Structure 1
Amino acid sequence: MPSASAREAALATTPAASLVFTTVLSHGPLTRAEIARRTRLSAAAVTKAVRPLMELGYVIEDPNQGTRSALGRPAIPVRVDGGKAFFVGVKVTGDEIIAVLADLCCRIRVVRHLALADRQPGAVLASIAELVLELLTEAEGFGAPVRGLGIAVSGDVDREDGVVRYSPFLQWRDVRLAEIIGAATGLPVTVDNDVRALTVAEQWFGAGVGLSSFALVTVGAGIGCGLVVHDRVVSGAHGVTGEIGHVSIDPLGPCCYCGNNGCVEAIAADPAILRGVREATGKPVATAAEALELARSGDLGAREVYARAGQAIGQAIGSVVNLFGPQRVIISGEGLAAYDLFAEGIRDAFAASAFGSAAQSDVMTRPLPFEEWARGAAATAIQSFIGSDTYEE
């Protein structure tokens, strides 16, 4: 008889089991009939997929949620047993590493923060390994194994090879992150772009649950965009997609670090706003918080910088809805702290640039702390573990 680990590996290659698992994970508890309706699988296919998941203990029946069917038989829902397995998620910023221990339902159980004194790959990777090993010790108290590790990094990330091709904030090039951290921790490692990782979490557990298409626009140190089209996270043929921060909206605008002029990121990202506020006011503001305080105090020059940033973001969102027509656009990121100063510019520029019915896309804000970005990394590890094919070129 094959070992439990061998059976789990086989399970991960079954598309129906992965589909059923992700459906129950996002929408459960669900009866088998409800699973069949949501997945469009036959009742027999659902039963075949659920049985091994239950044998392994990852899916359990929830009799407290049961109802009577039309024939008078109890319809007992099934749900994912979150405590059956654990995953570590790591988000790397330019200033710190945030690591979380999450259960199989991606509920955060433990959080750790570690400030970065050195952005060199060797130093950062050593710190990641240190945090992960600490969380592996924490996981022992929960009595279930850690099955995977997800790491989220900004920039051009090749998920398939586990390589950070280029991260502008960290100044990394061609860092074989999955290979190195996997050897240091002994865990299967999934490495992905941070915005795509957060998009996975929103698709399965957040504001994107139940939507076949949505866009996640993040504002802050950079401007990013994750896309879900036909229930799949779009990754791009070469691992790069949704880079709305590098859409040039003003050819005569400020120079962007990518080499072009007038990129959204060169106008609306935190460093650009900070630089613009200094130029507009002549005051030596040193941080985004100081720039925000100055604008809120009524300084017209600072407020104009934020208004221009809002217009750039709104124009970028208009381009997204024109190209992809998502049901919803979720705006998130640490830059939402200034949303009151952005809001009018975003709203007006979006209304002006969205074409026809594309303007009907639901635009909402969703503040998410960096712990949630680390949770997104954990979600990618869960995704790899269950073999869910939710990525599309």
Structure 2
Amino acid sequence: MREHNQVLVLGLIQRCSPITRPELGRRSGLTKASITRIVQELVSQDLVSEVPAQGTSAGGRPATGLRMRAGVLASVGVELRIDRCAVLLRDLSGVELGRWEGRMVPGTDPVQVLSEVGQRIQALRRDCPHHVVGVGVSVGGAATDDGQGIAASLYLGWKDVDVARLLAPYLPGVPLRVLDVSRCAAQASFEYLSYQAGQQGDQLPDRSELVHLQCGIGLGAGCPGGWDTSLPPRESSLPVGHIPLDPSGPLCETCGWNGCVDSVLGFTALMRRTEDLRVSPSQDPRYMEDYCRQVAAVAADGDRRAAGVLAALADDLARAVVMIALLARPSRMTIGGWPVYLGPDFVEEVGRRVRAHQDCGSLSISVGELGDDASLVGASMIGADVGVLARLTDQAS
């Protein structure tokens, strides 16, 4: 119960900062004495700091707010996708401290890739005084049940990869958790929505209400998880990428079926549909963003072919969203990845088509503001959660 209450209070501070002690009590339902004790514990762990807040306290003194302490603790996010390998170092207050991105070559030996990742983490930490508390790893594939490795990745051609062991020399003693790309992106999307609500003084969203769809080379859906790291990673993932969507669709080289979600809506399919528009991808790790912005610009200039492609994409994406919505029954869905860069009108059109379905009329659909960065940022958030929980557990023992 003690750790549960600490996590509850810390989550409110993350999303509603700067937040006063009375407001913490109101939102959490905990007593004044409990709030006082928990805040003291969090301050002693270098997790929280006091800052001036608006208004005055009950005794007429200037009000004091609480926020995540900056400049002391950090987490690492690692992303392993078919098209990109990335490392993000992030202060627990949410400030980015450094990153590295490179193109991934499918089939590359995982030992070689994770050795490069480890060296990049060390390079980012070299000029950073922060203490790293945890690591989150986002993978284009399935994580092992213990969250310490990769069970299998059809995209990368990897199987039974012990990520924790391979990164341990570069991060000795630092707790780690591996989750799939969509689950990490869902975490980032949920935290972003929660922060927006907290800053506006609104009620915070419930994790069970949201499903996030991340679109890249492949597609995956996920639900934001909580702090309970004992739950298997698959509990919050919806691996929809190879569900058949259109029997007459193109052959998927990964699963061997025609018309699965990935083959119809993956970024490779988008490029195939737009090849007549004379748009060329760059060699930058963020090539998806650049390519989609070019396609959107061609359509905005009145090109009928581009407009037709976007209409067909919106229709196919809407069918995938309806399928996920009927399976998971969320009240809200966010979409991240390449659709974000086709512009707000595209996502709005997807939402309009989804709500035309009789069972999805009330479903709220919005853009995941982090776009293609969602899974990397989400991995760093999960690393922070794992590290903070370990820190609180050590304190209790």
Q: Under a length normalisation based on structure 2, what TM-score does the superposition of the two structures give?
A: 0.79
Within the alignment, does 1:185 sit opposite 2:171 as a pair? yes
Map of 2:365 onto structure 1: 363
Which of the numbers 119, 132, 155 marks the counterpart of 1:169?
155
Which of the numbers 381, 385, 388 marks the counterpart of 1:386?
388
- Higher mean C-alpha displacement, 118-127 vs 253-262: 253-262
Q: Secondary structure at the match of 1:379?
A: helix
Encode CA deviations 1:7-59: one digit per residue, 9 max, x unaligned. xxxx9x82211221121112122122211222232333322222211223322
Structure 1 residue 242: deviation in Å? 2.1
Which residue identity is paired with 2:378? G
Dislocated runs of 4+, deviation >6 Å? 229-233, 283-286
Within the alignment, does 1:215 sit opposite 2:218 as a pair? no
Map of 2:377 onto structure 1: 375
Encode CA deviations 1:90-137: one digit per residue, 9 max, x unaligned. 222323322222111222121222344573212211110110111121
Alignment partners' CA distance in 2, 1:214 and 1:165: 26
Q: Secondary structure at the match of 1:311?
A: helix
Alignment partners' CA distance in 2, 1:90 and 1:127: 11
Map of 1:249 onto structure 2: 245
Question: Contact conserved, 2:21 with 2:35, CA < 8 A, in 1?
Answer: yes
Question: Contact conserved, 1:98 with 1:371, CA < 8 A, in 2?
Answer: no
Which of the numbers 4, 22, 28 marks the counterpart of 1:15?
4
Map of 2:354 onto structure 1: 350
Within the alignment, does 1:258 sit opposite 2:261 as a pair? no
Which residue identity is paired with 1:172? W
**What root-mean-square deviation, in Å, do the aligned CA atoms of Structure 1 and Structure 2 show?**
3.5
Q: Secondary structure at the match of 2:98?
A: strand
Are the structure 2 counterparts of residues 171 and 146 from structure 1 closer, same or farther at C-alpha, using a change threshold of 3 Å? same
Unaligned runs of 5+ in 1: 1-10, 389-393
Map of 1:96 onto structure 2: 84
Q: Secondary structure at the match of 1:387?
A: helix
Q: Secondary structure at the match of 2:93?
A: coil
Which of the numbers 296, 307, 311 marks the counterpart of 2:311?
307
The count of aligned residue pairs is: 367
Within the alignment, does 1:83 sit opposite 2:71 as a pair? yes
Question: Contact conserved, 1:163 with 1:176, CA < 8 A, in 2?
Answer: yes
Structure 1 residue 284: deviation in Å? 9.3
Are the structure 2 counterparts of residues 232 and 177 from structure 1 closer, same or farther at C-alpha, using a change threshold of 3 Å? closer
Structure 1 residue 265: deviation in Å? 2.1
- Higher mean C-alpha displacement, 72-81 vs 173-182: 72-81
Encode CA deviations 1:45-93: one digit per residue, 9 max, x unaligned. 3222222112233222223445233x65655322221222112222223
Within the alignment, does 1:337 sit opposite 2:341 as a pair? yes
Q: Secondary structure at the match of 1:360?
A: coil
Question: Contact conserved, 2:135 with 2:383, CA < 8 A, in 1?
Answer: yes
Map of 2:393 onto structure 1: none
Question: Contact conserved, 2:147 with 2:179, CA < 8 A, in 1?
Answer: no
Which residue identity is paired with 1:108? E
Are the structure 2 counterparts of residues 208 and 155 from structure 1 closer, same or farther at C-alpha, using a change threshold of 3 Å? farther
Which residue identity is paired with 1:38? R
Map of 1:6 onto structure 2: none
Which residue identity is paired with 1:268? L
Alignment partners' CA distance in 1, 2:126 and 2:271: 41
Alignment partners' CA distance in 2, 1:40 and 1:258: 49
Are the structure 2 counterparts of residues 68 and 299 from structure 1 closer, same or farther at C-alpha, using a change threshold of 3 Å? closer
Q: Secondary structure at the match of 1:166?
A: strand
Alignment partners' CA distance in 1, 2:15 and 2:316: 34
- Higher mean C-alpha displacement, 177-186 vs 237-246: 237-246
Structure 1 residue 201: deviation in Å? 2.4
Map of 2:395 onto structure 1: none
Q: Secondary structure at the match of 2:245?
A: coil
Identity %: 24
Q: Secondary structure at the match of 2:168?
A: helix
Mapping 1:37-48, distance limit 5 Å = 37-48=26-37
Map of 2:40 onto structure 1: 51
Alignment partners' CA distance in 1, 2:358 and 2:131: 48
Structure 1 residue 231: deviation in Å? 10
Alignment partners' CA distance in 2, 1:66 and 1:56: 27
Which residue identity is paired with 2:178? V
Unaligned runs of 5+ in 2: 196-203, 282-287, 391-397
